[in-house]
Amino acid sequence: MASTIRVRATSSGETTEVQALIQHPMDSGFVKDAKGEIIPPHFIQQLTFEYDGKPVFTADWGGGVSKDPYVKFAFKGGKKGGDLKVSWVDNKGATDTTTAKIQ
């Protein structure tokens, strides 16, 4: 299965800018479907970025984050060709992980 995570990490020498886009419904549990039934909550709770075995960014999310979430941040260091590991876990225990090369 194709990864749900699309990530782009670009090094400018001093800092590495990371943009990630994830495919996920991010159902908050407050929305009703066409039949008037509540769509149960289903959202990513934690998204982590690791470089060189150390966390560089952790996102804790609730149901208030938009569908197919996007996040952007930057960290100091990070070499071109280095591996950035990205993984998420949702409230149902599902997970996905990918590794991106810093460009």
Partner 1 sequence: MTTTDNGFTATRRLILKGAVTVALVGLGNISFGLAPVFAAANDKYPEDAFKQKSNADAIKSLYGKTAEPSDKVKLDAPEIAENGGVVPISVSSTLADVTSISILVSENPNALAASYKIPPGTIPSVANRLKMAKTSNVIAIVEAGGKLYSTTKEVKVTVGGCGG
Residues that bind partner 1 (CB under 8 A): 15, 26, 28, 30-32, 45-46, 54-67, 69-77, 91, 93
Nearer to partner 1, 13 or 64 (CB): 64
Q: Please, are residues 8 and 19 in contact by the beta-carbon 8 Å criterion? A: yes
Q: How far is the CB of 3 from partner 1 (least distance, A)?
A: 19
Q: How far is the CB of 71 from partner 1 (least distance, A)?
A: 5
Q: Which residues pair with 19 in a beta bridge?
A: 8, 72
Nearer to partner 1, 2 or 32 (CB): 32
Q: How far is the CB of 101 from partner 1 (least distance, A)?
A: 19
The string of DSSP codes covering 10-22 is EE-SSEEEEEEEE
Closest alpha carbon to 102 in 20, 17, 22 = 17
